[in-house]
Amino acid sequence: MADLPTMNPEKRLKILKQASWTGIFGNLALSGLKIIVGLYTGSLAVVGDGLDSLSDVVTSMMTLFVSKAAAEPPDPEHPWGHGRAETIATKTLSLIIIMAGLQLLIMSFKKLTGSVETVVPGRLALIASGISVLGKGLLAYYKHHAGRITNSRMMLADAVNMKNDIILSLTVLIGVLFTRILGMPLIDILAGLLVSGWIIFSGIQIFLRTNTELMDSIDDKDIYRQVFEAVDSIDGVNNPHRVRIRGLNSLYVVDMDVEVDANITVAEGHKLASRLEKEIRRRVRNIFDIMVHVEPAGVDHPKEGYGLSPEDIPL
């Protein structure tokens, strides 16, 4: 993401709230339309697309409420702040999405095996799918714009989800169209199976992505390289080791050891550590906290905890 000027927190929250409410009402309208039309016309694929839009309502609600909770400052009960609220909510959302996909999968198999009567979807199913493609396109554009100007990873991820839904709705639209042209309900059933698989796969992806943060790691290993480059730029600071970086919502926490001349004073060592912290913040955006442990050069600490060194990060 390109560097953007720092936005006023109140203005940022206002933009995120507006985008979230737009997502809630927009997806709620699309979901209701597709589920009702899909049930009325007998199109499981359209019903499945509606269930996916219903999960997007939950996503927008999560963005709305969690963005406010995550912005709360640290307190005695939560000294690291409230950023993990977003991760917890996202993990819960992924399970809801998976359950919705499994429900559609079961319904599709019942029709495939003849347990439920199959019919050729009506013209309304085709219209509903077309409206969905247009609506999802507008929501994707709006949420991407809001995420970009606020530097919100959560909103940008939601925009990507909307873009994926465009492909999903197009798949349903094509399935319903060919079902009506050829008069074969089997095509709509197969489209329903495809959509259910897509929903389940998306839920699993979201579930797995949150594991990185919950396991106190980060996906972008280039952040380590930027930290090591910051150390190299400060004269008098050497041998960065036991470096550990973890994600905290859209922020980073850096914990590291460095070596300095053993003969300098504590005040001089602190000054070097402060310069290093400023340099890291200059190079790496969205830093929540930095903890630099200064050690005298040449002293061995065999019982130190695990952490990365420059040789652990490939060039």
Q: Can you give the pLDDT at residue 275?
A: 96
Which CATH code for domain 9-214? Answer: 1.20.1510.10
The whole-number pLDDT of residue 165 equals 73
- pTM value is 0.67
Residue ranges per structural domain of the chain: 9-214, 222-312
Mean pLDDT of the chain: 81
Of 33-42, 58-67, 130-139, 287-296, the one with minimum mean pLDDT is: 58-67
Report the C-alpha gap between 272 and 279 in whole angstroms: 11
CB 240 within 8 A of CB 228: yes
CATH of 222-312, one of 3.40.50.1820, 3.40.640.10, 3.30.70.1350, 3.30.70.1890: 3.30.70.1350
Look at residue 172 and tell me whether its pLDDT is greater than 90: no
Report the alpha-carbon distance of residue 85 to residue 62 in Å, rounded: 10
For the stretch 212-262, pLDDT in tens is 878 888 888 889 999 999 999 999 999 999 999 998 877 889 999 999 999
Q: What is the pLDDT of residue 209?
A: 79
Which has the closest alpha carbon to 148: 275, 257, 12, 309? 12
- 53: helix, strand or coil: helix
